[in-house]
Structures are given as structure tokens and as C-alpha cells.
Amino acid sequence: MEDLGFFSAESSPDERGRIEAVLKRSIDAGTPCSLLNMENQLISGYDDTHFIVQKPWPKVDLPFTPETLTFQTWKELGNEVHINFFNFAKIGKADDETIIKESLSYAIDMTRNPDKYRLEHYYNGLHAYDAWIKAVKDGYGASHGNWWNGTVWWECREMASKYFSEIAPKCQGRISKKATELSNLYKKLAKLLNQARDKKLADKEKINILQEAQKTEESGINEIEELLNAFTP
């Protein structure tokens, strides 16, 4: 999966035209492409005026998941332009240990070097909790944004828990045990984030939960580092 770049509402028609040319070449070569602007969507083709984009939920009519993307104007997105484009290439499968080690290294790097992955005013990793807590203090604890971000974070940590459950049987001895422990830790973290997304939860309680979640997340990253190091003879 190759990230072809991030584009905002301020991107120029020339900048948009250049990335569109890349996408067209990929599609012509039979390489799958996608976009991420609120939701992930496959780009299945193009005609003379626009790309053809697949809706993630075909039976649900949502304005932020358009079926087309008009060349250079991207008018279907309105003012909500904060978009990444990707293409995909099929490669040979690596062995399980290599896949696991590289996934753990990536998770550690995203947390330890957040500025490397940060875009505009967005935050990731442990610093994101500080931004979330500040937003609650600023009066946004009952907002749709609080619920939306909380839902996404909860889903991600729930999937992290399942991931460690999946890799535990593929590992041996203390590595397998550590993976199981991490599965339980991320299950706990997911439950905290599920609570934090509640619009009706009092701000003080929400902040306390987020602070606990932040400490749990930090513990998780420390333990992921231990798990990664355990692979080294």
C-alpha cells in the first residue's frame, strides 16, 4: 500500500491534476487505487470528467462518500477536502515472524515519533490524548466530534486486542504469553475509550477516563517494545 500524498482544500488545480495523472496510470495498469476523505473508498475507474468511486455502504446515502470525483475541482467534497490517495501492489507473502516484527515496529514508531506521521492540526499517539482532554475542557465533550473520534479509537484498540490474540498462537513461550497479555491490555483500553465517547458522560469523569486510557496506552507501547525485543536471540 503506497500513500500517494495528502491534499487539503487549499491544493491547487495543478497539484490535483498531477495526482490524478498518477491515479489514471495506476488504474490503466490494473493497479487498485483508493481515497480516504472521511471514509476509505475504492476508485474503480474514470471517464472523461471524473473518477468513479465506490461507496462504502451502497444502500446508505451519505454526502461525504461521493460516487464520483470531478477532475481538479473535486466539487463532490465541498469544503471537506482533507484527502489521501493510495495505490496497491501485490507482493509475495513474508513469513509470519517478519510480518509480526514489522507491524510492532510500525506501532512503536508512530507513538515514539508522532510528528513523522502528523498532518496539519491532527494528532496521533500519546499526544492525541492531550488534545482530546483539552477539547473536553474547552466544551466539546458532548460533541459529535468527541463521539466520532472516540468510536474510531475504540474500534482501533478493539482490533489491536484481536490482533494480539491472533499472533499469540503463532509465537512460542514468553513471546506468546506477552502477546496474550497485550491482547488483554488493549481490550481494557478499548473499554475505556468506549466510555469516553459517551456524549452524556460528565466532563470531569470523561477526563479521568482519558487520563487512565493515556497511561494504559503508554504501558501498551512499552510492552510492545518488550515483545519486539523478545524476538531477538
pLDDT at 222 over 90: yes
Chain segment 154-175, per-residue pLDDT in tens: 999 999 999 999 999 988 888 9
Q: List the Cα angle 5/127/216 in 5-degree steps.
A: 120
pLDDT at 148 over 70: yes
pLDDT of 233 reads: 61
The 3-state DSSP class for residue 24 equals helix
Task: Provide the phi-psi class of 125: left if phi over 0, else alpha when psi is between -120 and 50, else beta.
Answer: left
Closest of 43, 63, 39 to residue 53, by C-alpha: 43
CA atoms within 13 A on the CB side of 200: 0
Q: How would residue 116 be classed by pLDDT, with cut points 50, 70 and 90?
A: confident
% of the chain residues with pLDDT over 90: 84
Q: Is the pTM of this model over 0.75?
A: yes
pLDDT of 153 reads: 94
